Each structure stands twice: as C-alpha cells, then as structure tokens.
A and B are shown apart, each in its own frame.
Chain A
Amino acid sequence: MNLRESLRISWRSIRAHKLRSALTTLGVIIGIAAVITFMVLGGGFSEDVVGDIEAEQEPAMTVQTQTTPEDGFGVMLVETPIYTESDVDALEQREGVEYVAPQGSLDVVQAESDGEQLTGVVDAQATTADRFEHATFVDGGPFDGADEAVVNEQAGQAFEENVSAGDELELTFEDGETTSVTVAGVAESEIGEQTPPQVFVPADEHYTTTVETPDGDEERAYPTLQIGAEGLDDVDPVQETAVDYLEDDSHAAELKADDDEIAVQTVEDAIEQFDDLVGQLTVFIGAVAGIALVVGSIGIANIMIVSVTERTREIGVMKAVGATKRDIMQLFLVESVVLGAIGAVVGVAAGLGFGYLGVWLLGWPMVYPLEWVAIAVAVGIGVGVVSGLYPAWRGARVDPIEALRHE
C-alpha cells in the first residue's frame, strides 16, 4: 500500500474527529511551543548581552568579589570595598599590566542637566581615566580633570535633551551635597542595551570610602577593579598573576569575608559564565518540555488505542478486502505520525510567535533557533511513531472474523 493512500485515509480519520485530534495534539503543541519560545527568548537575551562583546576582544579583566548564597544556585556579587589603594599600586607593578582602574559606587541620588532632574535613575561610579582605555566614545573622550565626567549612552539619552560632550551635569549626593561636572565624553555601553544610565567621575576627587588595612592605616578601598593587560597575549599570564597576588598577598585577601571569593574574570570568562547559566536554563527547560512531550505522546497513544477499538470493524473490512497486517500498521502509524507532525508544526509556529512577542516586548533582537525547529519537528514525528507503535500493533493483530462481527 503506498504512502499517499494511507495518508489520505488517515487524514480522513483525523478530520472526522477534529476536536479530539486537536486536543490530542495539544500536549505536543505545548511542549514544543515552550521549547521554541524559551529558545527564542534565551537566544535573544544572549545575543543582546553577548553579541557586542564577542565582536571586540579586549585585553582587560574585572576583579570582583563573589559569594555563593546559602540557598539557591549560581553566584552573587558582593559590593564590599576590599581592594585598597595599596593593592591597586601593587598590581600595577606586575609584569604585563598596563593599568589598574579601581571602581566604586557613589551615593548619588539625582542628576540634573539643563534644568531637567533625574532622581534615582542614574548610577554614579568613581573610577580612573584608565578604565576607558578600551572604551569606544560616541562623543568626546575620557575625563581629564577633577570636574569632568564620562556618561554612557543610556545616561546621555536619559535626559530629554541628549547630553553630549561639553554639557554641564549637576550631581546631588545622598547627604544633600552637590557637585558640578562637565561631560568630557559619551561612551558606548559595553554590555548590551540593558545597562543602566551611568555617570563616571574621577575617583581621586570624588571617592571617599576608606577601610582600615591590616597594617593599621586608613586607605581608600574599592569593590571592583579593572585590570588592563599590555596586549591580548598578556591576558592569561596577567590573570594568573592577579589571582595569585590577590588571593595571597593583598589587603583584599585579609579584608574579605571568609565565604567570599575573589574572582578575576576576563571578558571571555564572563561570556563563558553567562553561557553556562543559559546552558543550565536550557537543560531545565528541556526537562520541562520533555515532560510535556511524554504527556503528549501518552495522549496520542491513548487516542490511537481508542481509535483502534472504535474502528475494529473497519479493520475487519480492510482485512477482508486484502489488507495485510503491515497495511493496517502503516495506516495507524501514519495517523499518529501525522498527529505528532501537526503538533510539531503548530508548536513551532506558536513558539516562534510567543518568542517574537516576548523579544519585541523586552527589546531584544529576534533569533530564529533553526536547529531547535529541526529538533522539534523530528521529536514531534518521533513522538508520533513511538506513541503509535503499540496501538498500530494492536490494530494489526485484530482477528478479521471477530472484527466483522464487532458492533
């Protein structure tokens, strides 16, 4: 019996029970739609965060403190200022190190430009001009004086009248003090479109957080450092040197809490860590979708068994007019594969639709997870085969004499 004829007969049977067929495929549709939706969202998120970074490799790395939360997984950043001026100086002496730029938050609550005030939106960071060694400026350049500042694009666009180089900014601190700075440059955001509006001012003049060092002195200390290597080839040795120093000889090693860890991450490490997280999420979603697909295939198998029972007499008739066991198996298998394939196709379409809606709402780029679409269709057909095998086998071994007597 050729495939076209079995497709025709199976299709009639599916169409004869439209509602039942639709409900049957719903499990597969939901499973596959969930996978595709999350793959689109995950892909869009990755693309948004990592896309720009991967394009340009920088010989730079970030030093931060991390802790593992008691419950939950992953890591959390700790904002304790433990990297002292002495640590910064010591690191700068190491071979291959081009610069060490410390960075720490300032408790700025309000920024004002040209009479327009933004409260609680702008994040102010104190750092050194070295931090912008590898930055790309859309306008102007790094700050070069006590009363100058760099803003990122988000901050520049946060005001109604876009801020550009030469504009005045007035920053209000939590304690009510204000300071006035001139914008020296507008820097491109390094990480995606989700970066908050930021203003960078020189640390020497604006940063005041100090800690007591193990030697008993009061020194300024920062929660974050950025280390620049002389070239791309120096990145790995510098990373090693920095880890060795920070973990053993630095003030930071003594100042950090016992559970905290000092992490020196290159841009590549950050991407890797991010990819790991996305990977874990993918496995999780895959498991959820897997359950939905198992449920879906049980649904198909169930309906196929009902269908075999209902059509016992038809099976008898088909056997009487010359259908072999193989023909009957083929008919029912084709029917369940068609159900699975419909589930896959509708699921992919729904998944892409929801995914598209999601990335559109979140402002991420649309990513078409083609390999997942292919996997989904293959899985849908596979689900059809697996769930159709047993019912088809039952149908094939129906005794035609009994079947023709069946009411």
Chain B
Amino acid sequence: MVAHDTGPGAAAVTAESVRRTYHLAEPVHAVDGVSLSLGEGSFTAVMGPSGSGKSTLMNLVGCLDTPDEGRLEVGGRSVGELSDTERARLRGTEIGFVFQTFNLMPRLTAIENVRLPMVFHDGVGADRQERARSLLERVGLGDRLEHEPSELSGGQRQRVALARALANEPTLVLADEPTGNLDTETEAEIMELLVDLNEAGATILLVTHERAVAEYADHVVHLLDGEIASLEHLSGARDVTAREKATEGAGNRRSTGEGEA
C-alpha cells in the first residue's frame, strides 16, 4: 500500500495496476495489480518462489503477452493497445531476450543468430554484418563468428544470446534465469557481462531465484502470489521505483485473490 514515486529520468517500462488472469478451473491471477517503473539504465532483479508470477510478468514486459487489466508501457507505447504485428515489431526493436536455455537458432552460425533480430526488423538497414560482428566482439566471441551453437560451450552460447539481445539497441534487456544452465564460474562471467552492458547504458530486467545472482542488480523486486511483496534497493543511486498504488480496486482484488497460484 506504499506508493513509490518514479525516480528522475525517463522510464523504460511503466506498469500500472497490471493484472493477468488465467481462466483455468477457476480464475487465477498470475499477475495481480503490479505497478512498477523501470528507469532507463537501471538493473533490476525479480525474485520469488515458483508460481509467484515471475514468468507471467516477464512475458508481459516482453510484449509476448498482454495485460487483462491495467496499463503497461514499453518504450513509450501501451502494449495492450497494440496489434499482434505491432507487438512483434516492438519486441524486435525495444526488447532483447536472454533465456535460460539460450534459445539460439540451431542451424544458424553465431553471427547469423546475432543478425536475426536485424533481419526481422528491416528498419536497421545499416551494415548488419558489421554490427553483428562488433556485438560478438563485445561479448568476447570475435573468433567464433562462423560457429554453430552446437560447436559452442554453454557460456559461449549465452554470450551469443546476449549479443543477439542487443542487436536492435533495445530499450530493455530481459534476462530470464540467464545463468540457470551454467556452472558457477561461467555464471560469474555472464553476470559480469550483464553488469558491463548495464554500465554501458542498457536497461536490464533479470528474473532469478538465486539470491547470489540477484545481488548483481541494483534493485530487487520480490514477487509473491502475483503481487509485489517488497522492493529492495541494493544501491540507492538508481532510479528504479516500484509503486503499489493504493487504489480502491486493489482492495477488491485482494479479497478475490484466494485462487492465486
């Protein structure tokens, strides 16, 4: 019920009372009235137990899903009002995904994988090949350009995925358990890389259930039963703020929230 004001600077993502309901045997509010604002250049981790709504929040912020209620803005555009194709374009231009299972295209080389978002987004007509090469060099894979994913180690694959996420200079990099399939040493490398990217200006939203991983971020959002349980600032300097709005609706929603996972 505590309202947090948005910090200085423009917000990359703004969520206002966002709610997503799945109609199973009974309605389940996977995300239940979340209000959150991610400032540009911030590094935020989302933590919570299984079924707390991390994935659904991720899908919503990633424009793969649309909110049933509330308003969600990504890159200044309201996600709920966009058509399917417009959301696809928005994903291509404003968001870079990094997945736990890397999700590289198996038959494309590293550099082709990095080029893929540029290929789907014809707007970046500039030299795709050159840009893809420089992105791979940035993540330390300048000598692995023509390797297929099967010829790369887990850590290297995740680096390719990171380079791909940055292909269209997105507003936000969404990392869903990016180190879940990696050993501790590689985990540290990838996290350092994320921190580097963040320090170079990228906005990062990281989903994890490991405290150690979350601590690379500046802020940690704790989710429980689809709601923001608390917002923790690891270093106060960033302009990330979560707001839980004390609205009339919020109270009503809480009273119907028995079916939440």
A positions within 8 Å CB-CB of B: 1-2, 5, 8-9, 12-13, 16, 313-314, 316-327, 400-401, 404
- Contact A9 B108, CB 8 Å, known A320-B91, A324-B85: yes
A195 to B30, alpha carbons, bound, how many Å? Answer: 88
A2-B122, A12-B108, A400-B64 known; A321-B84 Cβ under 8 A: no
A-B contact count (CB 8 A): 70
Interchain Cβ contacts under 8 Å between A and B, 30 examples = A1-B120, A2-B122, A9-B105, A12-B107, A12-B108, A13-B107, A314-B106, A317-B103, A318-B116, A318-B120, A319-B64, A319-B88, A319-B91, A320-B97, A321-B92, A321-B97, A321-B116, A322-B88, A322-B89, A322-B92, A322-B93, A322-B117, A324-B88, A325-B84, A325-B88, A327-B88, A400-B64, A401-B59, A401-B65, A404-B99
A5–B108 alpha-carbon span in the complex (Å): 12
Q: Please, how many angstroms separate the alpha-carbon atoms of A26 and B41 in the complex?
A: 55
In-complex Cβ contact of A326 among B85, B93, B105, B108 (8 A) = B85
Q: Could you tell me the distance between the alpha carbons of A189 and B92 in the complex, rounded to whole angstroms?
A: 75
Whether B119 is near chain A, meaning CB under 8 Å from some CB there, is: yes
B residues neighboring A (CB under 8 Å): 59, 62, 64-65, 84-85, 88-89, 91-93, 96-97, 99, 103-108, 112, 116-117, 119-122, 164, 167-168
- Complex Cα spacing A115 to B14, Å: 110
Which residues of chain B come closer than 8 Å to A1, judged between CB atoms?
A: 119-120, 122
Indicate whether A322 sits within 8 Å of B121 (C-beta atoms), given known contacts A317-B105, A400-B64, A401-B65: yes
Q: Chain B nearest CB: distance from A6 CB in Å? A: 9
- Bound state CA distance, A319 and B65, in angstroms? 12
Instruction: Name the distance in Å between A67's Cβ and chain B's nearest Cβ.
Output: 66
CB-CB under 8 A from B104, the residues of chain A are 317
B residues in contact with A314, CB < 8 Å: 105-106
Given contacts A320-B103, A321-B97, A324-B85, could you give 16 more A-B pairs where the C-beta distance is less than 8 Å? A1-B122, A2-B122, A5-B119, A16-B107, A314-B105, A317-B104, A317-B105, A319-B91, A320-B97, A321-B167, A322-B89, A325-B84, A325-B85, A327-B88, A401-B64, A401-B65
Q: Report the bound CA distance from A316 to B59 in whole Å.
A: 12
The 10 closest A-B pairs by CB, nearest first: A322-B92, A324-B88, A321-B117, A322-B120, A12-B107, A5-B119, A317-B103, A323-B120, A324-B85, A320-B97
| Bound Cα distance A292, B62 (Å) | 47
Give the chain B neighbours of A2 by CB distance below 8 A.
119, 122
The CA of A321 and the CA of B116, in the complex, are separated in Å by 8
CA distance A320 to B96 in the complex (A): 8
CA distance A314 to B89 in the complex (A): 17
Q: Does B85 lie within 8 Å of A322, measured CB to CB?
A: no
Q: Which B residues are in CB contact (< 8 Å) with A327? A: 88, 120
A313 touches B89 (CB 8 A): no
Which residues on B sit within 8 Å (CB–CB) of A325? 84-85, 88
Contacts of A8 in B (CB 8 A): 112
- Chain B residues whose C-beta falls within 8 Å of the C-beta of A326 in the assembled complex: 85
Is A320 in contact with B85, judged by CB distance below 8 angstroms? no
Question: Please, how many angstroms separate the alpha-carbon atoms of A401 and B59 in the complex?
Answer: 7
Complex: chain B residue closest to A9, CB-CB: B108
A316 to chain B: closest residue by CB: B103
Give B136 Cβ to nearest chain A Cβ, in Å: 16
Give the nearest-CB partner of B94 in chain A.
Answer: A322
Known: A327-B120, A401-B65. A321 touches B85 (CB 8 A): no
- Closest-by-CB residue of B relative to A402 is B64
With CB as the reference atom, state the residue of chain B lying closest to A322: B92
Kindly provide the distance from the CB of A14 to the nearest chain B CB, expressed in whole angstroms: 10
Q: Which residue of A lies closest to B164 (CB)?
A: A321
Chain B residue numbers with a CB within 8 Å of A317 are: 103-105
What chain A residues lie within 8 Å of B167 (beta carbons)? 321
Chain B residues with CB under 8 Å of A5's CB are 119
